[in-house]
Structure 1
Amino acid sequence: MLHELLTVSSPIEFTEAHNIGHRTLSEYLNQLLAEKGLRRADVVREAGINETFGYQIFKGQRNPTRDKVLQLAFALGCDLVETNRLLRAAGANELYCKDRRDAIILFCIDRGMGLTRTDEELYRFGEETLVS
């Protein structure tokens, strides 16, 4: 696809031909649910998010904080690329390795650690945990 993009006369031509547009957080969350074969209720529970608030996020009715998006990413079992895509879709900053807290989170995602273990690592290093 990259080669095709680089050979077209306009990026708009490419994005229209491949139906590529801006994905909302709600759209991407629901796409990940389908791809991973997960249930929304299980993901919201695993993320430690209030059930009503979680459903509103998935429906696009509420905008979560960056930490809530990260909690959902862990609950969905997202890798680094998927996590940063979720953050972008939410209008939040991607994880940045030069930020101490983000570096710990990046390390944990890369090692396949869950939300609880990640919070333990954040706490161990004196950083704010994801789950309040």
Structure 2
Amino acid sequence: MEEPLTEELLEELLASPDPAQFARKHRIAEKTLSEHLSALLESRGLARIDVIREAGLNETFGYQIFVGQRNPSRDKVLQIALAMHLDLRETNRLLRIAGASDLYCKNRRDAIVIFCVDKGYSLRKTDEELYRLGEQTLCRPS
């Protein structure tokens, strides 16, 4: 799922005679979290159940997220991103589509997560790093 860079889109928008036409062409703000997750699954050849399990989500809750019946917390979105092995750009895009804030390197906990995403760490390894450094883990104990 190769998407144009934000800078390229900005240039095109500024050169466009009609912002509505630009928005339609690029489906700006039209893609739901469910649609985006489905596209990611397809483009990566992943099975939804495998991602849900690797993300450490309850299966029912996970399916509800993937079909658009539930809105996940920011941490649940990060769990899914790590389970799908998304890079930092893809992770931040997923967060934005879910209505959550991007990872922010001036936030200590976010900085640890950014480091882990960049290094390709699994969810488990990321949680171990968060715990080791005294931060709240993504998969909180019940």
- Who is 2:139 aligned against? 131
**Structure 1 stretches of at least 4 aligned residues deviating more than 3 Å after TM superposition:** 1-4, 17-21
Cα RMSD (Å): 1.3
Map 1:1-132 to 2 at 5 A: 2=9, 3-132=11-140
Percent identity over paired residues? 63
Gaps spanning 5+ residues in structure 2: where?
A: 1-7
Counterpart of 1:31, as a letter, is A
Cα distance change on mapping 1:126 and 1:18 into 2, 3 Å: closer
Distance 2:27 2:116 in 1: 34
Distance 1:34 1:68 in 2: 20
Distance 1:123 1:17 in 2: 44
Gaps spanning 5+ residues in structure 1: where?
A: none
Q: Cα deviations across residues 91-118 of structure 1 (Å, max 9, x unaligned)? A: 1111010000000000000111110110
Q: How many residues align?
A: 132
- Tell me the SS of whatever aligns to 1:13: helix
**TM-score of the pair, normalised by structure 1:** 0.93
- Who is 2:3 aligned against? none
**TM-score of the pair, normalised by structure 2:** 0.87
